Structure formats: structure tokens, C-alpha cells
Structure 1
Amino acid sequence: MKVILKENIENLGFKDEVVDVKNGYGRNYLIPKGVASLATKSALKVLEENLKQRAVKDKKVKEEAVKTANALKETVVKVGAKAGEKGKIFGSINTIQLAEAIEKLGFTIERKYIKIKGEPIKNLGAYEADIRLHKDVDATVKFEVVEDK
């Protein structure tokens, strides 16, 4: 069954993509939830026209994402956390705290597009995270967990 996605779905595809899914998944989950529609001939024609109109706008968005990716690659984001004597953090650092730290630098990134590499962060130190800024633009950001005073 071919469906047109109405929004980004992790491990399936991006908005306005035509994807092939199993009949049950499309009929019982995607279409009733409103995240996809059936890919009929008329729906595909409408989608094609919308994509043509959106191509110029998308190019500008992609250029902005590339600029943001280059700026984030050059900076080291500092994330503050309360820590004990040996550098062990009370709790752990998650994507919410990283997104807030990046926002303080002037970049707005949704936390669901941030993937922290490796184990849960429970110690002070330097780490990396992957960020999806656009469907074609990914960035690796370096961040440092420092002790809050």
C-alpha cells in the first residue's frame, strides 16, 4: 500500500514522501491517526504541484540549516549540571537540557531531533550529539558538561 506522509515519522519517512507500507499499518494506524493519506492518482498530482511550489522555499530553509550546522560544528556548547565531589552528576544530562543550552547560543532546535551518542551522561566531561536540522542536513555538536556553581 502506498501512502503520502503528512508529517515526519521516525524510521519511516519525511513529510510529503510517498512510502510503501504494509496494508494493516497504513489502514489501521497511519490513515486513522491522520499522519498519512492514501496515494491515489489525484492525490499524487496534488502532491507534485505542492512540491514544485515549495521547492524554492525549501531551498532557503536548507541553506539556513547548513549555516546553523556549520556554526554548531565550530562551537562547544556548555551544559551546566550539579555534580558531586568526583565529577558524578546528580541525575543525567538529556536532550532537553542540551536543547536549552543550544537555545542560549541563539539556535532553536527541537529536542526530538537530538540524539546523544553513547551511554547516558552521568559524569562531567566532553561529549557529542547528532542533530537533524533538515531532512538533508545533519550536524554533530560537541558539548561539555560543566559543574553549576
Structure 2
Amino acid sequence: MKLILRETVASLGNAGDVVNVKPGYARNYLLPQGLAYTASAANLQRIEAEAARREEQERRDYLEANRQAARLEDLTINVTARAGEEGQLFGSVTVRDICEKVEEAGIDFELDRRAVHLSEPIKSVGEHRVPIRFQSGVEVDLLVVVEAEED
């Protein structure tokens, strides 16, 4: 019996997959649990339309991420913070600080904090490369320059 999965089913397939299962498994488990529905011609067309729509959305997201990455690639963020004699900061520069500085720089989009992959807060003066990874897989390094605050 041919079915279309609504959800990912272990050892069977992912949501949207067309699978062939035994009639008893379909009638007694997959259909009553709402995990699948019959693979009629109309349902197959709907699945194909959803796949095309999803693919188009992924393409748009990828293009938007590339546009945002190009804007961030040319950007240098300057942060001033109190520091000791040897360049150690009294505090630290965090993901939140970086996102705020990017917003202040006048970028036409809001940088999601989850995209900033800072392994640990910046605690020293100097230039630091911070990786920005967008959800669509696009990655760019943002240059963050930390300077000591003048007394």
C-alpha cells in the first residue's frame, strides 16, 4: 500500500516521502496515528507543489543570506572597553554586544544572535574574527576591533 508520510517515522522515511508498506501496518498503525495518508493522485500533486514551494523558499533564503554575508564581510565593528595595562579587558565583549554594534552600524537587517558563533567572550584588546553562520549554510567572518577605553 502506498502512503505519504506526514511525519518522520523511524526506519521508514521522512515527512513527505512516498513509501510502500504492508496494508496491515498502514491500517492499524500509520493511518490511525495520523503519521501518513494515502498516496492518491491529488495528494501526490499536493506533495510535489509543497516540495517546489519549499525549494523556492530555500533558494530565496540562500540568496538573502548571501546578500547579508556580503554586507557583513566589508564591515568592521569597533568596540571600546575598559582594559588593564596588558590589554586584558575588565569585562568582556559578548554576542549581545556584537549584535548591538552591528545594528548601530546601520545594517538593513537584524543579525540573529544564534548566527554569531563566538566560542567564548572576547577578553582582550585587538582584532578578532568572529564567525557568522546563517541558517542556510552561508558563513562569513566579521572583524571585531576591541580598543582600550581612554581614561
TM-score range, shorter chain: 0.5 to 0.7
Q: Which residue of 1 aligns with 2:117?
A: 115
What secondary structure does 1:3 align onto?
Answer: coil
Q: Which residue of 2 aligns with 1:98?
A: 98
What secondary structure does 2:55 align onto?
Answer: helix
Q: Which residue of 1 aligns with 2:126?
A: 125
Q: Which residue of 1 aligns with 2:18?
A: none
- Please report how far the alpha carbon of residue 56 of structure 1 lies from its aligned counterpart in structure 2 after TM superposition: 2.6
Opposite residue 80 of structure 2, the aligned amino acid is G
Is the 1:87–1:123 contact (alpha carbons within 8 Å) kept by the matching residues of 2? Answer: yes
Aligned length: 116
- Please report how far the alpha carbon of residue 48 of structure 1 lies from its aligned counterpart in structure 2 after TM superposition: 5.9
**TM-score, reference length from structure 1:** 0.61
Per mean C-alpha deviation after superposition, the further-off stretch among 77-86 and 103-112 is: 77-86
* Alignment RMSD (CA, Å): 3.2
Task: Flag the structure with higher strand content.
Answer: 1
- Find the structure with the greater CA-based Rg: 2
In 1, Cα distance between equivalents of 2:92 and 2:101: 15
What secondary structure does 2:83 align onto?
Answer: coil
Is the 1:132–1:138 contact (alpha carbons within 8 Å) kept by the matching residues of 2? Answer: yes
**TM-score, reference length from structure 2:** 0.60
Q: Which residue of 1 aligns with 2:78?
A: 78
Q: 1:48 to 1:80 in 2, by over 3 A?
A: farther
Is the 1:109–1:133 contact (alpha carbons within 8 Å) kept by the matching residues of 2? Answer: no
Q: Which residue of 2 aligns with 1:27?
A: none
- Give unmatched runs, 5+ long, in structure 1: 5-17, 20-37
In 2, Cα distance between equivalents of 1:50 and 1:100: 37
Is the 2:77–2:143 contact (alpha carbons within 8 Å) kept by the matching residues of 1? Answer: yes
- Please report how far the alpha carbon of residue 75 of structure 1 lies from its aligned counterpart in structure 2 after TM superposition: 2.2
In 2, Cα distance between equivalents of 1:142 and 1:69: 12
- 1:9-20 → structure 2 map (5 Å cutoff): 18=14
- Give unmatched runs, 5+ long, in structure 2: 1-6, 16-32, 38-43
Is the 1:116–1:128 contact (alpha carbons within 8 Å) kept by the matching residues of 2? Answer: no
Opposite residue 134 of structure 2, the aligned amino acid is L
In 2, Cα distance between equivalents of 1:127 and 1:58: 31
What secondary structure does 2:139 align onto?
Answer: strand
Q: 1:109 to 1:48 in 2, by over 3 A?
A: farther
Runs ≥4 residues deviating over 3 A: 38-42, 45-51
- Please report how far the alpha carbon of residue 146 of structure 1 lies from its aligned counterpart in structure 2 after TM superposition: 1.9
- Please report how far the alpha carbon of residue 130 of structure 1 lies from its aligned counterpart in structure 2 after TM superposition: 1.2
- The answer to whether the aligner puts 1:3 opposite 2:8 as a matched pair is yes
Is the 2:115–2:132 contact (alpha carbons within 8 Å) kept by the matching residues of 1? Answer: yes
